[in-house]
Chains A and B, each alone.
Chain A
Amino acid sequence: MQTNNDNITPSQTTIFVISIIIGTGILSLPGNVSRVAGPDGWITVLLGGIASFLMAIPVAALSNKMDKSSFIGYMRSMFGPIVGSVFGTIYVVYFVFISSVILRIFADVLTTYIFVKTPEEFFIITMMLLTIYLILSGIEPTARTSEILVPISLFAIFFIHLIAIPNADFTELLPLLRTPLNKLLEGIYQTIFSFLGFEILLIVSPYITDRKHGFRIIGISLSVTTAVYLYIVIIVVSSLGLAKTSISIWPSMSLMMSISGPGRMLERMGILAMSIWIITMFTTLCGFYLAGSLTLSDLLYSKNYRLYIFILLPIIYILSLQPDNVLGVINWINVSSIIGILCSFVIPLLLLIMSSIKGRN
Chain B
Amino acid sequence: MKRTFHKSIEGLDDKGQIEKLDKREIQTMSKDLEQNLLLIKDRFKDCYDIVIREFYIDNGHTPNHKLALIYIDNMIDKSLINESIMESLMSISKHDELEYNGGKQLFSRIKERLITASHVDETDDFEKVIYSILCGNSALLMDKLGKCLIIYSIGWEKRAIEEPATEMALRGSHDGFTEAFGTNVSLIRRRIKDTALKLKVYKIGRYTNTTVGIMFVEGIVNPKIIEELEGRIKKIDIDGILESGYIEQLIADNWLSPFPQFKRTERPDTACASLLEGNIIIITDNTPYVLIAPTTFFSLFQSMDDYTEGWQISTFLRVLRFIAILIAIDMPALYVSVTAFHPDMLPTDLAFSIAATREGVPFSSPIEALMMLLTLEVLREAGIRLPAPFGQTIGIVGSIVLGEAAVRAGVASPIMVIIVSLNAISSFVIPNFSLAIGFRLLAFIFLLLSSIAGLYGVLIGLIALIVHLVRLKSVGVNYLSPFINFKSIEARDTLYRAPLHFLTERPKYTMPVNKKRLKNPYNRENKGE
Residues B485 and A267 in contact, CB atoms below 8 Å apart: no
What is the interface size of chain A, counting residues whose CB is below 8 A from a CB of the partner?
A: 37
B453 A126 Cβ-Cβ under 8 A: yes
In whole Å, how far is B74's beta carbon from the nearest beta carbon of chain A?
46
B residues near A11, Cβ cutoff 8 Å:
485
User: Would you call A148 and B466 a contact (CB within 8 A)?
Assistant: yes
Contacting B at CB under 8 A, from A114-147, are 114-115, 118, 122-123, 126-127, 130, 133-134, 137, 141, 144-145, 147
B394 to chain A, nearest CB (A): 35
Contact status A114-B342, CB under 8 Å = yes
Contact code string A8-38 (vs B, CB < 8 Å = 1, else 0): 0101100000000000000000000000000
* Chain B residues bordering chain A, tally (CB within 8 A): 34
Q: Are A267 and B345 in contact (CB under 8 A)?
A: yes
- Chain B residues within an 8 Å CB radius of A147: 483-486
User: Which of B2-10, B418-426, B457-465 faces chain A?
Assistant: B457-465
Nearest Cβ on chain B to A280's Cβ, whole angstroms: 11
> With contacts A266-B346, A275-B459 known, is A145 near B470, CB below 8 A?
yes
Provide the bound-state CA to CA distance between A126 and B449, in Å: 11
Nearest CB on A from B123, distance (A): 39
- Taking the complex as formed, is B258 at the interface, i.e. its CB lies under 8 A from any CB of chain A? no
Q: Of residues 126 to 157 in B, which have CB atoms within 8 Å of A's CB atoms?
A: none
Contact between B478 and A148, CB atoms less than 8 A apart: no
Let me know if A341 is at the binding interface, CB within 8 A: no
Whether A115 and B454, one on each chain, are in contact in the complex, defined by CB atoms closer than 8 angstroms, is yes
A3 to B471, CA, bound (A): 10
Q: Does B197 contact A (CB under 8 A)?
A: no
Residues of B within 8 A of A332 (CB): none
Q: Is the CB of A122 within 8 A of B453?
A: yes
- Of chain B, the residue at the smallest CB distance from A135 is B467
A169 CB, nearest partner CB in chain B, Å? 25
Query: Please, which residue of chain A has its CB at the minimum distance from the CB of B484?
Result: A144
Q: Is B228 an interface residue, CB under 8 A from the partner?
A: yes
A339 CA to B96 CA, complexed, in Å? 104
Q: Which residue of chain B has its CB nearest to the CB of A260?
A: B347
Q: Are B464 and A9 in contact (CB under 8 A)?
A: no
| A1 on interface, CB distance cutoff 8 Å | yes
Q: Report the minimal beta-carbon distance from B87 to chain A, rounded to whole angstroms.
A: 56
The answer on a CB contact under 8 Å between B460 and A126 is yes
Q: Kindly identify, within residues 1 to 30 of chain B, every residue whose CB is under 8 Å from any CB belonging to chain A.
A: none
* Interface status of B215 (Cβ within 8 A of chain A): no
The docked-state distance in angstroms from the alpha carbon of A276 to that of B454 is: 15
Judge whether A130 and B460 touch: CB under 8 Å: yes
Task: Report how far A1 CA is from B224 CA in the complex, Å.
Answer: 7
Interface of chain B residues 434 through 465 with chain A (CB within 8 A): 453-456, 459-460, 463-464
Query: In the complex the two chains form, is A133's CB within 8 Å of B464's CB?
Result: yes
Query: What is the bound-complex CA distance between A3 and B455, given in angstroms?
Result: 34
Known: A144-B470, A147-B486. A2 touches B477 (CB 8 A): yes
Q: Does B101 contact A (CB under 8 A)?
A: no
Q: B231 → chain A, closest Cβ, in Å?
A: 12
Shortest C-beta distance, A189 to chain B (Å), equals 33
The yes or no answer to A313 lying at the interface (CB within 8 A) is: no
Asked if A264 is an interface residue, CB under 8 A from chain B, the answer is yes
Please, how many angstroms separate the alpha-carbon atoms of A271 and B334 in the complex? 12
Question: For B485, what are the chain A residues with a Cβ–Cβ distance below 8 Å?
Answer: 9, 11-12, 147
CB of A168 to closest CB in B, whole Å: 22
B489 to chain A, nearest CB (A): 14
Tell me if A61 counts as interface (CB < 8 A to partner B).
Answer: no
Q: Which of A1, A123, A145, A264 contacts B456 (CB 8 A)?
A: A123
B344 within 8 A of A: yes
Nearest CB of chain A from residue B295's CB, rounded to whole Å:
13
Q: Are A267 and B467 in contact (CB under 8 A)?
A: no
Residue B480 CB within 8 A of the other chain: yes
Contacts of A149 in B (CB 8 A): 463, 466
Complex Cα distance A2/B475, Å? 9
B523 interface residue, CB < 8 Å from A?
no
**B455/A275 in contact, CB under 8 A:** yes
Evaluate contact between B480 and A148: CB separation under 8 angstroms: yes
Quick check: is A173 within 8 A (CB to CB) of the other chain? Answer: no
Q: Which of B345, B473, B476 has the most CB of A within 10 A?
A: B345
Q: Would you call A347 an interface residue if the criterion is a C-beta within 8 Å of the partner chain's C-beta atoms?
A: no
Please report the C-alpha to C-alpha distance between residue A244 and residue B346 in the assembled complex, in whole angstroms: 25
Partner pick for A268 among B224, B344, B486, CB 8 A cutoff = B344
**B526 at interface by CB-CB < 8 Å:** no
- List 5 contacting pairs A-B, 8 Å CB cutoff, sorted by A: A133-B467, A141-B471, A145-B467, A260-B347, A271-B455
Known contacts A134-B467, A267-B351; 8 additional CB pairs below 8 A are A1-B224, A3-B476, A114-B342, A130-B464, A130-B467, A266-B346, A267-B348, A268-B344
Which residues of A are interface residues toward B (Cβ below 8 A)? 1-3, 9, 11-12, 110, 114-115, 118, 122-123, 126-127, 130, 133-134, 137, 141, 144-145, 147-149, 260, 264-268, 270-271, 274-275, 278-279, 282
